[in-house]
Amino acid sequence: MHVAAHTAEPIDVPQTVVPRWVQAVLLPLAIIGFVALALAAGSVLPIVLVASTVAMILNPLMKQLERKLPRGLAIPGAYLIVLACFAGVVVVLANPITSQLNHFEARIPHLIRSANHDLNQIQHWLRQQGIHVQFASQGHTALQNLQHRLLKSSGTIVSFSRDLLGKLLTLSVEAVLVFVLSVYLLVYGREIANLARAIMPRSNGTPEDDFPTLVQHAVAGYVRGQLLFTLIMGLSASLGLWLIGVTGVFPAGEKYALFFGAFYGLMEFIPYFGPIAGAVPPVLVALFTNPISAVWTALMFLGLQQLEGHIVAPQVFRISLRINPIVVILALLIGEQLYGIVGALIALPLATVIRQIVLYLRAHLVLEPST
């Protein structure tokens, strides 16, 4: 989607006055029509929105390649570079993560035996106090069942980690549609940008006031902010687990810091539930080691989430999104309610686009007074 402005010298452009009859008739009809169209589109709308988001994310890279290559080669080149980056990350992390998972799988029987021993100790202490409670054998059976499930699940996770790259390349029908549509959006990017310029009020001719350029910069800022946020939180989780591991609070934390940190960072892409889901595996492992370790591990993640909510996220997204936190929360809730996880994932980039549209219209439109 080519977004370059045509001129560099600013020109005086008067604000467009919106007549009262347009405000009273056409604008409400346009809103009703847009809502009706969105409802009629059904599952097609999220495909279009995801494809548009993908196209806007890839557009800066495609423009850089287009300086040396024809557009027909720059577009597939942009996709190949992104896929290569994902593949590189998978290759770099696959071996250490798989090694840590295998090590964890091998330690599950030991963790189960340790937990059973603790249960027997607790039951023995209660009997000495005159409290006769039979829960060790029941706990033993439950732990054995949990051991069987964990061994089965860990084997699935190991297999998944080894085949991750292949799974990423196996696209569903909707993913293929998103890919094809995003390619066409990139191919016809210039035409789409020119159409947007024709529809929106006239700019002053500079890149700083060019509507397609402003939208592109807004989406690029979101992408940079999200990647930086994910990296910071993943590294913070790994560092925190490593610290409580080397200090002996949670010995397994040192061994599995990379895997759990990478998992926590990836979960940060999922709004609201991601940080909680990312903290569950290490807390469960700590629970099998020692209940006190589980408490300290949970407190570490609670502190990390407080750091995330009060320092990291506000600072990162304040710069990248420039959107009020209340609007961010509402966008995430609406997106999740309409289209589930996919809706939540694309809610923020769409919110940045809507914000940019509103700002551009406020700068170039003036409503005719009602009196």
pLDDT in tens, 67-110: 888 888 888 899 899 888 877 766 766 666 666 566 666 666 66
| pLDDT at residue 171, rounded to an integer | 46
Are residues 64 and 175 in contact, defined by beta-carbon separation less than 8 angstroms? Answer: no
Q: What is the dihedral of CA 251, 254, 260, 261, to 10 degrees?
A: 140
Locus of tokens 């993908």: 54
Cα(367)–Cα(370) distance, integer angstroms: 9
Beta-bridge mates of residue 4: none
Cα(308)–Cα(302) distance, integer angstroms: 10
Q: What is the model's pTM?
A: 0.67
Are residues 214 and 349 in contact, defined by beta-carbon separation less than 8 angstroms? Answer: no
- Domain spans in the chain, listed from the N-terminal domain onward: 41-187, 206-366
Low-confidence ranges of the chain (pLDDT < 70): 1-10, 89-90, 92-119, 123-124, 130-172, 272, 370-371
pLDDT in tens, 267-283: 887 776 788 888 888 88
Are residues 59 and 189 in contact, defined by beta-carbon separation less than 8 angstroms? Answer: yes
Structure tokens at 178: 């998103």
Cα(197)–Cα(202) distance, integer angstroms: 7
Structure tokens at 49: 């929105």
| pLDDT at residue 1, rounded to an integer | 54
